Structure 1
């Protein structure tokens, strides 16, 4: 797998990119935190618990307001794996799916260990963040997919019947590879999805979501980014369920005021392509980020995945300043997310100065070891 030459980074371009990276990762997390307390509750159950408008603000889950789930945890490890892939490229080794798989294995260790092992310097800094050592509702598919060293591939995927949205929900960071062509972004997301969710609809939904984020991070409109994803999907066998789901999202925009029923209809029982469709729809019709996330949360189904996907789209589209400040103030792990986002932006814009042929920063290689 190769990558294309990156863009030329002036100061304004670097600042815009950094804002979109921060917006994407914070958007995933704050969406996740909004949807987590009502995940898989029916709409009437949500209204009974939180009032006639449903959930409209962060409420406690896992013992605190602003708590995130495994979806945010895995998204952060996706970023960590992408940075490590760039750093390891200096050694002549270039196979990003392997680096992502190693990152997901580091996440899996957080789900079974009491805390970080300080002796494992090769794990890097993210795996030493103690707040990540919390089990937040990971599915059996994830725990099985990353339960051993074997890496799932498109030819031999892990959990080949698993069509849920969790692989897509960790795929926003692939879209932030703005120097790559969309086809390569899709390919990486698809290959990494197969490591835990091997059903074609799940892998292709991850690829489509990454391409939409990619378009937004490069300054496209949301409608334009979805069209770009449809064009990218069209070249892939078996794309029809995912392409049809995206088309349904675009068509639903013209059907009047958004309702929980329409979001739930698009969500289609919680399949990957259904949740992707619902997230695109909520992002298109939301009056602002807060409204879009509330739409994504208030339906019967996997609300955390829907809100995480929606948050990633809106964060990539608008940048970090559009996200609700009051929600960000209570967001679990916010300092870590910001630090990782800024590291990613620095790696993508200034990587050769950090670990290139001209020299290397020992501090950077301690944070993101080549091992």
Structure 2
């Protein structure tokens, strides 16, 4: 996208970016308090309908987990990849990997390192320096500086959901070809998850988000992802899971039992299938998100995936305002969403030859997003 886009199109895009990031964070927060609970346990504690509102986790209502943390750093990595084009360097997987290494530092450091001039503003957000049950594959995959590749992936046997749950931002690259979006998500997934299901589910999720961001309905978006999956070796588990999600829509009224027929969400293909199913049957955003978190399993990740999908499909104004208001880090999420939208639509006015990199808020854009 370029600055030649009209104002209406830019506003629609910003609303979808905000909706995607806020929606994912809300789903994450709704599931955070019941992530390790069984469905029976959830119903015993909260009643037959299960969770119907935000519940305390990590000392507060609206707390987010590593799912949202890593998604935000993915967004930041994509912005910095765009900025680095000015230097003649263009390799987004490297920039996303560096961003994920900055996330990894938040999991082991007490707080921001003010001495790092290249850290950018997101790594200086103190609220992000908190462990929220990060996955072992994400921690081990980012424990050193070596970047996993498709030829030499990190954790080659891991197909946990830690890559898929952070991959919605790739789908927000709406000016890209779907195949390139798929490929970039895959190349960034293998930084931590090297099993084909672990990285192909991430690619499929990104493609679904990409289609929704362009105005597609959800089921055709899923079909686009299935077509791209069919071209890849080792796609069978992810393909089967997505087809199962579509088929479950026709098996009766939405229920926790139908959700659980798709799995528990700990693995990549199950988290993707549950998120897609709940978004497909959602009567509105709140209904879909509550369905996505009330089950035995990885409730925050399935809620996050579903929230990304519903948010990008319907835009920020469709999100329940009460949940938005209580969301941890809301200001950071909105700032990052708006910065992403500006970078993707108005980059020529923000940085480049002859420009100082001064952003609309008076801060240097290149201080916020260093091109190094």
Determine if the TM-score, normalized by the shorter chain, exceeds 0.5: yes
Question: Normalized against structure 2, the TM-score is what?
Answer: 0.97
- Alignment equivalent of 2:311, drawn from 290, 312, 315: 315
Q: What SS does structure 2 have at the residue aligned with 1:154?
A: coil
Instruction: For residues 186-214 of structure 1, give each alpha carbon's deviation from its aligned partner in whole angstroms, at most 9, with x where no partner exists.
Output: 00100111001111001000000000000
- Alignment equivalent of 1:278, drawn from 274, 284, 307: 274
2:3–2:346 CA contact under 8 A, matched in 1: no
Structure 1 residue 237: Cα displacement: 1.4
Instruction: For residues 339-361 of structure 1, give each alpha carbon's deviation from its aligned partner in whole angstroms, at most 9, with x where no partner exists.
Output: 00000000000012211234241
- Alignment equivalent of 1:149, drawn from 131, 137, 145: 145
Question: In 2, distance between residues paired with 1:130 and 1:79?
Answer: 18
Q: Which runs of 5+ in 1 are unaligned?
A: none
2:39–2:296 CA contact under 8 A, matched in 1: yes
- Alignment equivalent of 1:82, drawn from 64, 78, 82: 78
Structure 1 residue 22: Cα displacement: 0.1
Question: In 1, distance between residues paired with 2:157 and 2:197?
Answer: 10
The answer as to 2:10 corresponding to 1:25 is: no
Structure 2 match to 1:67: 63
Q: Which runs of 5+ in 2 are unaligned?
A: 359-363
1:1-371 matches, within 5 Å, as 8-267=4-263, 270-362=266-358, 363-371=364-372
Q: What SS does structure 2 have at the residue aligned with 1:295?
A: helix
Q: What SS does structure 2 have at the residue aligned with 1:219?
A: coil
1:37–1:59 CA contact under 8 A, matched in 2: yes
Q: What SS does structure 2 have at the residue aligned with 1:352?
A: helix
Q: Which moved more, 1:345-354 or 1:6-15?
A: 6-15
Q: Which moved more, 1:231-240 or 1:180-189?
A: 231-240
Question: In 2, distance between residues paired with 1:322 and 1:164?
Answer: 30
Question: In 2, distance between residues paired with 1:343 and 1:39?
Answer: 31
Question: Normalized against structure 1, the TM-score is what?
Answer: 0.97
Q: CA RMSD in A?
A: 1.2
Question: In 1, distance between residues paired with 2:104 and 2:270?
Answer: 27
Q: 4+ residue stretches of structure 1 with deviation over 6 A?
A: none
